[in-house]
Amino acid sequence: MSTECECSQSGWCQRHNCHKPKHFFHLCQTRSDYFKMWEKGIGPGQLSPSEKKSRRYRRRLKDFSVAVVIISHNYGAFLREAIDSVLAQTYKPREILVVDDRSTDDTKEIAQSYQRQGVKYLSVDVGNVHAARGAGFEATNSEITCFLDADDRLSEDYLEKGLEQFDHYQVAVVYSDTQFFGKRQGCSNYPETYSADQLQFDNFIHAGSLALSEAIELSRVFEKQIDPLLTQGDWFLWREVLGRTWTARKQKALYHYRIHKTNWTQQMQTAEQRSYFEYAGLAHQKIMLFIPLSGRVEHWPLTAGVLERQTWPHDQISLVLMDTSQCEEFSQTVRDWIEDCDYRDVRYLKFDAGLSGLADENRRLPDIRDQVRFAMARIYNRMLRMVDSEFVWILEDDIVPPDDVCQQLLSCFDPKTVSVAAPYPSRFHKGFVVWNQAGASYEKLGYQEEVVGGNGFGCTILRASTIRDNVFTALHNMPDFDIAFYARLKTTGFQAKVNWSCFSQHSGALESEIMKPKQSSKTDCECAEPGWCERHQCKKHPHFHKLCQTRTDYFELWEKGAGPGQNLQAVSENSVESSEPGMMRKAFNFTKAVARHVTNGSKHVDEATYNTRLSTCQACEMCDTSRMVCKHKSCGCTLRVKALWDSERCPLNKWTVNPENAVEKQTSNVLIEEKI
């Protein structure tokens, strides 16, 4: 049907003040609905870019469904503020769910009092904030999810301003700055622009950020179990959700973060000493294992053996086998192994890096040496295009490392370290393929981990975020791709390490006695299995346990009190020589005691028991009788108060226990440990 369109051809329309291509011109002449849109000034082509953006926001905002999941563990005192801040939002969420994780306070009653206002209640028994968030996520069904801790609150326009940032399908998370209140005031200053590389080094996205539920579902992050007192849960969550495919945006509204003595951040700070490996949750990290295969037939069984024995979970490895052999028989051998291996993610590719058999030619000849340099640069530049995880483990086919080398190298990473290598002897000079800051090679085996100037790539783990934009050069500025790489690394402020306990065999290398690790068929180690070592007063995981049994040099270090793990461990619980704990430890211990006392119904002992306890303490070597303060590391409390509370026990078990209340006290202590 015809309209009142006055245009005779496509192009600029004076009446509607916009450009109409042929399709729009046809619509204007034949479709009355489109003609009316142009008449009203809202037809295609009439809106300015800024107006288009604004209208798209309004349309998307109207369509979004939002679920706010409030996590509470004995946060009844703060819960009303959190719920009220959600109900006051200028953009109303479709779902509000309070997840109660083992609360013994009035969390349930408070949550159910908001039932008429649409607030739902879910009780879980997991004792883990990460798992509680997962339960809340499974119980909701909205496009956008916001995890709100019950001790925090949202600014009234938090949802509205945050949803405006979901203007592209790749935006999975919208974060904000945090306004601190409570024991400390202030405001964060997180990066304005999201950087996936920066997120890999440290966290700047808080737990209360808005997240696309589909991205959470795709990541399967809640299928992984972590200990929130050791692993930074927020950081782990968003690294897993965002990965390398999604992006994040920052919004203007603020998230209000309460600082108090019982929130997770404070508990993490008072928890036992933890490593960066635990803090970053690297045990769940997927690793890309890249192995360039030169076609050495005699070496393939050794490489296959390493792959089969290595202890990093095979389902957490993306295995890339680059076949540069140009030998069909060798290639078929590798493909046959792939068919029978238990690795789930395996990529095999043929790559022409240079002449066949080049790896074993005489590299002292200038022409051969340069060809090898170019071939290696080609191999590793091709590798860069395949990187799909944050950590890349490079293993060359003539290196045989310890079976647990992957975990040992990962345990050496920290925010400043981007490369950790296992040492191996050189085939061409005396010493290791490891050099110091001055460029001189190490000739003797060192101890533990050490910052170095660089190393060969024979067995090395690299942070992918530092190499993705790198180019491996063969002869530019300086020869050899690895020497050039570590020379450039020095200018970035990052560092490289070598873990000397991961000594690796190198086929064809001549090892002098001083290069070999000191071996012993048996040391004086008395431990039957990994775990806590009474003799050396430290925790030994399987690798350290093996070193203690087989390496006299490491055993001697532990005997001297300078072995791995000893400087991080506190003295044993029953150590009479322990000094009085510091103020922070005293405060933490007293907080636990108060919690036990309250959970026990604030009961007091009778006068006879009280006097007996004080007399026992006065006769104890751990008691400062002038102040009546216990100097034991797990106490530090004022004894005139602690001895009065029925819930308390002597850390040295010198107080008699009332058998009638023994079961009740044991249950009470379990509850307190879970709450604290």
Asked whether the predicted pLDDT for residue 610 surpasses 90, the reply is no
Return d(Cα 116, Cα 83) in angstroms, integer: 13
3-state secondary structure of 196: helix
E-strand stretches of 202-344: 210-212, 247-250, 255-259, 287-293, 317-323
pLDDT of the residue at 597 = 77
Query: DSSP secondary-structure letter at 4?
Result: S
Q: Which CATH number applies to 285-506?
A: 3.90.550.10
Query: Which residues does 52 contact at the CB level (< 8 Å), separation at least 6?
Result: none
Contact 457/440 with Cβ under 8 angstroms? Answer: no
Q: How confident is the model at residue 11 (pLDDT cuts 50, 70, 90)?
A: confident
Per-residue pLDDT tens over the stretch 427-456: 888 889 999 999 899 988 888 899 999 999
Contact 258/151 with Cβ under 8 angstroms? Answer: yes
Domains 61-282 and 285-506 share a fold: yes
Query: Which residues does 430 contact at the CB level (< 8 Å), separation at least 6?
Result: 441, 443, 512
pLDDT of the residue at 676 = 36
Q: How confident is the model at residue 136 (pLDDT cuts 50, 70, 90)?
A: very high
Contact 391/461 with Cβ under 8 angstroms? Answer: yes
HSE on the CB side for 547, CA within 13 Å?
25
Nearest to 324 by CA among 352, 297, 304, 345: 352
What are the backbone angles phi and psi of residue 568, rounded to the nearest 5°?
A: -100, -10
Q: How confident is the model at residue 519 (pLDDT cuts 50, 70, 90)?
A: low
Asked whether the predicted pLDDT for residue 218 surpasses 90, the reply is yes
Return d(Cα 455, Cα 460) in angstroms, integer: 8
Contact 459/399 with Cβ under 8 angstroms? Answer: yes
Contact 590/639 with Cβ under 8 angstroms? Answer: no
Burial class of residue 19 in the structure, from the number of CB atoms within 10 Å of its CB (0-12 exposed, 13-18 middle, 19+ buried): middle
The CA R_g of the chain, rounded to the nearest whole Å, is: 32
Contact 432/424 with Cβ under 8 angstroms? Answer: yes
**Higher per-residue confidence, 229 vs 586:** 229
Asked whether the predicted pLDDT for residue 389 surpasses 50, the reply is yes
> Encoding tokens for residue 306?
């390493």
Return d(Cα 536, Cα 547) in angstroms, integer: 13
> Encoding tokens for residue 485?
């790489």
Q: Tokens 């945006």 sit at which residue?
A: 249
Q: CA angle, corner 79, sides to 74 and 83, nearest 5?
A: 150
Nearest to 119 by CA among 130, 127, 108: 108
Strand order in the sheet with 391-395: 345-350, 317-323, 287-293, 391-395, 459-463, 417-421, 495-499, 449-452
pLDDT of the residue at 266 = 53
pLDDT of the residue at 10 = 84
Return d(Cα 554, Cα 562) in angstroms, integer: 9
> Encoding tokens for residue 468?
């993705």
**Higher per-residue confidence, 423 vs 57:** 423
Return the percentage of the chain with pLDDT > 70, whole number.
86
Return the percentage of the chain with pLDDT > 90, whole number.
48
Per-residue pLDDT tens over the stretch 456-478: 999 999 999 888 888 888 877 67
Q: How confident is the model at residue 176 (pLDDT cuts 50, 70, 90)?
A: very high
> Encoding tokens for residue 549?
């049994």
Nearest to 136 by CA among 468, 146, 575, 127: 146
Per-residue pLDDT tens over the stretch 483-495: 999 999 989 999 9
**Higher per-residue confidence, 559 vs 254:** 254
Return d(Cα 328, Cα 331) in angstroms, integer: 5
Asked whether the predicted pLDDT for residue 421 surpasses 60, the reply is yes
Query: Which residues does 11 contact at the CB level (< 8 Å), separation at least 6?
Result: 19, 20, 25
Return contacts of 580-583, CB within 8 angstroms, 24+ apart.
580/624, 580/629, 580/631, 580/636, 581/631, 581/632, 581/633, 581/634, 581/635, 581/636
Burial class of residue 663 in the structure, from the number of CB atoms within 10 Å of its CB (0-12 exposed, 13-18 middle, 19+ buried): exposed
Asked whether the predicted pLDDT for residue 365 surpasses 80, the reply is no
Asked whether the predicted pLDDT for residue 228 surpasses 80, the reply is yes
Amino acid at 225: Q
> Encoding tokens for residue 588?
């933490």
Report the topology of domain 61-282: Spore Coat Polysaccharide Biosynthesis Protein SpsA; Chain A (3.90.550)
> Rounded to the nearest 10 degrees, how much is the dihedral formed by the CA atoms of 571, 574, 575, 581?
60
How much is the average pLDDT of 517-538? Answer: 74
Contact 418/496 with Cβ under 8 angstroms? Answer: yes
Per-residue pLDDT tens over the stretch 320-357: 999 999 889 999 999 999 999 999 999 999 999 877 76
Query: Which residues does 569 contact at the CB level (< 8 Å), separation at least 6?
Result: 273, 537, 538, 539
pLDDT of the residue at 508 = 76
Indicate the average pLDDT of the chain.
Answer: 84
**Higher per-residue confidence, 252 vs 667:** 252
**Residue ranges of domains in the chain:** 61-282, 285-506, 531-568, 583-675
Task: Name beta bridge partners: 120.
Answer: 97
Helix then strand then coil, % of the chain, to nearest 5: 35, 20, 45
pLDDT of the residue at 53 = 46
pLDDT of the residue at 629 = 85
How much is the average pLDDT of 179-204? Answer: 92
Return d(Cα 46, Cα 58) in angstroms, integer: 18
Query: Which residues does 343 contact at the CB level (< 8 Å), separation at least 6?
Result: 307, 314, 317, 319
* Most confidently predicted of 259-268, 428-437, 630-639: 428-437
How much is the average pLDDT of 358-377? Answer: 77
